[in-house]
Amino acid sequence: MRVRKSIWMPGLFAVIALVIVACGSDATATPLPTPDATVSPTAEAGSQQETSDLTAEESAYLREVLRAERSSEAIFEGFRTVFAQSYPVREALISALLQAGVGTPFVEKTAILEALDPPERFRDDHQIWLESARELLRIDTEATAAAQAGDLVRFSVLNGQLGGVATAAKIALSPSYCLGISSTEIGKAICTSDDTNLGGGYQTVLNSMIRGFMPEFANLQGNIGFRLSLTPEELNQLLSETGAASRKTIQGFASELEEIVPPEELSADHERLQTFLGRAVEILAEVNRLGEAGDYQGASGELQKLEPTFCDTRASLENKDFKDAVGIFFSGDPRTCGGAPF
Per-residue pLDDT of 92-124, as tens digits, reads 888 888 888 888 999 999 999 999 999 999 999
ω into 31 cis (within 30 of 0): yes
Using pLDDT thresholds of 50, 70 and 90, give the confidence band for residue 334: low
Q: What is the pLDDT of residues 246-292, one digit of tens each?
A: 888 899 999 999 999 999 999 999 999 999 999 999 998 998 898 88
d(CA 225, CA 336): 14
Q: What is the pLDDT of residues 21-52, one digit of tens each?
A: 333 333 333 333 332 333 333 334 344 444 46
d(CA 208, CA 226): 27
Using pLDDT thresholds of 50, 70 and 90, give the confidence band for residue 136: very high
Averaged pLDDT of the chain? 79
d(CA 259, CA 33): 25
Please report, rounded to a whole number, the percentage of residues in the chain having pLDDT higher than 90.
Answer: 35
Residues 6+ apart with CB under 8 A from 293: none
Using pLDDT thresholds of 50, 70 and 90, give the confidence band for residue 87: confident
Distances (CA, A) of 86 to 3, 52, 271: 6, 45, 39
CA 337 to chain centre: 15
Q: How many CB atoms lie within 10 A of CB 42?
A: 10
pLDDT at 33: 31
Segment (H or E) for 6: none
Pick 320 or 81 by higher pLDDT. Answer: 320
Task: State the DSSP code for 38.
Answer: -
Q: What is the pLDDT of residues 194-239, one digit of tens each?
A: 555 676 789 999 998 998 888 888 887 766 655 556 777 887 888 7
pLDDT at 328: 83
Pick 33 or 140 by higher pLDDT. Answer: 140
In single-letter form, the type of residue at position 79 comes to: F
Q: For residue 174, how many C-alpha atoms fall within 13 Å in the half-sphere facing its CB?
A: 11
Pick 79 or 275 by higher pLDDT. Answer: 275
pLDDT at 102: 84
Using pLDDT thresholds of 50, 70 and 90, give the confidence band for residue 11: very low
